[in-house]
């Protein structure tokens, strides 16, 4: 009887350990996942824009900017805007997200860039305020800035 109880306890222990070994690990998350800014972008105009953040891992994330108020005066082909998004970080060095990712945009069309990849760290608190979005199109540089913090608040990475 003692052997049976010992065997049952050992089996239960092995099953519990196996379950823990194959349990999904906690995934990296960013909160909030989107925020609103008001940007001024020179010849591209200005107004309300949405930033969407996605945390890919504990050390990488992407950010997309889209706006119907910020428009391009010329038609642009897909992946033709060289974008560098600099976010201020209240917990350390600024973070930079860059790439050449955009849909085709007709003349007068709404601007969307991203997802732009970048490096983050656990605890980063990123805000567009006092940061910038630099877009280079046909060799012309357009910089967007904001004079207020994003709403509802900074992107916090975990």
Per-residue pLDDT, averaged over 107-133, amounts to 96
User: Percentage of residues in the chain with pLDDT exceeding 90?
Assistant: 77
Kindly state the average pLDDT of the residues 26-34: 83
Residue 55 confidence (pLDDT) above 80:
yes
Report, as an integer, the average pLDDT of 143-147: 94
Round the average pLDDT of the chain to a whole number and report it. Answer: 86
Using the predicted structure, report yes or no on whether residue 141 has a pLDDT greater than 70.
yes
**Separation in Å, CA 147 to CA 34, 37, 129:** 18, 9, 6
Q: What pLDDT, on the 0 to 100 scale, is given for residue 23?
A: 38
Tell me the whole-structure pTM to 2 decimals: 0.81
Q: Is the pLDDT of residue 10 over 90?
A: no
pLDDT of res. 126: 98
CA torsion, points 127, 50, 69, 133, in degrees to nearest 10? 40
pLDDT of residue 121 exceeding 80, the answer is: yes
């Amino acid at each position: 009887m003692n052997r049976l109880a010992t065997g049952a306890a050992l089996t239960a222990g092995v099953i519990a350990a196996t379950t823990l070994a194959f349990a999904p690990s906690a995934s990296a998350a960013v909160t909030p996942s989107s925020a609103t800014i008001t940007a001024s972008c020179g010849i591209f105009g200005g107004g309300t824009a949405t930033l969407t953040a996605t945390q890919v891992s504990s050390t990488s994330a992407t950010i997309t900017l889209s706006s119907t108020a910020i428009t391009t005066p010329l038609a642009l082909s897909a992946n033709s805007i060289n974008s560098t998004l600099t976010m201020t970080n209240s917990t350390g060095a600024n973070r930079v997200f860059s790439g050449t990712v955009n849909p085709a945009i007709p003349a007068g069309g709404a601007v969307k860039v991203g997802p732009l990849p970048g490096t983050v760290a656990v605890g980063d608190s990123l805000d567009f305020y006092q940061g910038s979005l630099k877009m280079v199109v046909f060799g012309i540089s357009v910089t967007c800035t904001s004079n207020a913090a994003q709403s509802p608040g900074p992107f916090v990475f975990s």
